[in-house]
Amino acid sequence: MFVELLIFLLTFLIAYYLYFYYKIHDFFKKRDVKFVPGIPMFGNVFQSSILKKHLWEDVDAVYRAFPDEKYVGFIEGTVPVILIREPTLIKAITVKDFDHFVNHKDFFDKDMEPLFATSLIQMKDDRWRDMRVTLSPAFTGSKMRQMLPFMTEISKNIVDYIKDHPSNESHVDDLVRRYTVDVIASAGFGLQINSLKDRDNDFFRLGSNLFNFSYKQRVVEFLSNHCPIIGKIFGLKLFSQETMDFFKNTVRDTISYREKNNVVRPDMIHLLMEATKGTLKDSDNEKDDASFAATEEGLKSRNVTREWTAREITSQVFIFFAAGFESTAGVITMCIHELALNPEVQEKLYQELRNFKEEHKTLTYENLSKMKYLDAVVTETLRKWSIAIFMDRVCSKPYVLPPPREGGKPYQIRPGDIVYNMVNSIQMDEKYYPQPEVFNPDRFSDVNKANITPTTYVPFGNGPRNCIGSRFALMELKVLISDLVSNFKILKSKKTSDPIRLHHNDFNIKALGGTYVKFEPRTYNLVY
């Protein structure tokens, strides 16, 4: 069946291309928008589609092609997109004029992947607003304090494992993903899992399967984005039924058990149960100084009470798992890789951790934020290796962009048009960050971060549609990095790539060839 599908697909796409390809080029020319001509059927994402480059490299090539333009044309497959390069325009679209650009584009058809389609990321308009307001109290600083003990316990498991398994070369990608899946299982689902001992547990096995895309899955993903009608005809699914059933059943059974037995545990399942009942309130009154990178909640309630379906509740837990597992793991892994390549940064961080330990006997949510250099290291990692790439938005009300250059003409964005507000490319632009390839946490010292151009640092997004889980991710990152640096020197091994290049066969941020380092026990380690 799959061979027949491929033949049908190729025939359809060739005809599809012949009609639309020249139309798209003409589309940008008529509107006086500069663009890079695309490849038939692939547009500007040919290299990443055939796994020769990472998606960001394809996008960045268009970003850098016209350095004096405020925005340029980008061709994604056969879809014209406006790629926004200018920070003030990005701020206008994502904050000031947000009501014109409320929604994300559809990444997955609701019939092909209903759990993704009904998640917060894919919800639209007022339904999204109401769900966001419902969930926001679950992600405040006061709720994150309750999650910290889960993270510190699992981080200790990682440290103990490394000590008990000395090696000249540790596979960091694997270690960190076992940490993040255990954190999500504990802090999210209330399940005690040790993926270092039970190495093939269902959470780790099925979670890994979500992101290890086969060629078949890539074809299905392409269809879901560009030709969803074909996916419906053939009944295609991006993820296995086993994976989807596991998460649905786990959430359903956990909620059912807790309701029947009056079980209360301060984890994400409990918070989401309370949030969907409308009984969870934001108790944060103090200023939350979690991190320079943390996002702020700016959305106000419409004072509308909704009844959320079981599928919608399950979808929020599922997307929390999906985002918290792979995305956070990628950033942590890159941070460890950078520390191995930059021993002077690592030593400065260790000295801060040592001084911190002398002053504070216990790691808490409040004093975690007092480690300024740790925050700078994490912030610099997110600058250089942000997972966002761009902030996609779909126009819902007509909007006029100013001319892309002096002497140009304004651009009319119509409802349904897609814009990509750049993240990675701006954060790696020498115009805003001198020597962007250099890993330099001092960019984010108290003195220097005040000079950063607004909206040139948005790793967790910007405006009301920013990442709701930024505080959770930052805390998860800081806990493990502080434990590792406190107990080990992170050293280059024979397989440590230098410089880091992105893995092509991956949608996430991952080093080409993987991340390998040597963990050398410190003679004076720090234990909280």
Beta strand pairing call for 71-76 and 79-84: antiparallel
Q: What's phi and psi for 390, nearest 5 deg? A: -155, 165
Alpha-carbon distances of 383 from 171, 219, 369, 522, rounded to whole Å: 24, 31, 19, 29
The reply to whether 467 sits in an annotated binding site is yes
Helices (H), 66-171: 87-91, 114-117, 125-135, 141-164
Distance in angstroms (rounded) separating the CA atoms of residues 35 and 141: 43
Nearest to 195 by CA among 175, 211, 173: 175
Query: Residue 524: CA atoms inside 13 Å, Cβ hemisphere, count?
Result: 7
Span between the terminal Cα atoms of the chain, in Å: 57
Burial class (CB in 10 A: 0-12, 13-18, 19+), 456: middle
Burial class (CB in 10 A: 0-12, 13-18, 19+), 400: exposed
Only one residue has tokens 């959770």, namely 472
* Amino acid code (one letter) for 159: V
Distance in angstroms (rounded) separating the CA atoms of residues 320 and 274: 16
Only one residue has tokens 């962009």, namely 401
Distance in angstroms (rounded) separating the CA atoms of residues 491 and 337: 9
CA-based angle 260:264:270, to the nearest 5?
Answer: 95
Question: Can you say which residues are annotated as belonging to the binding site?
Answer: 467
Question: Can you say which residues are annotated as belonging to the binding site for heme?
Answer: 467
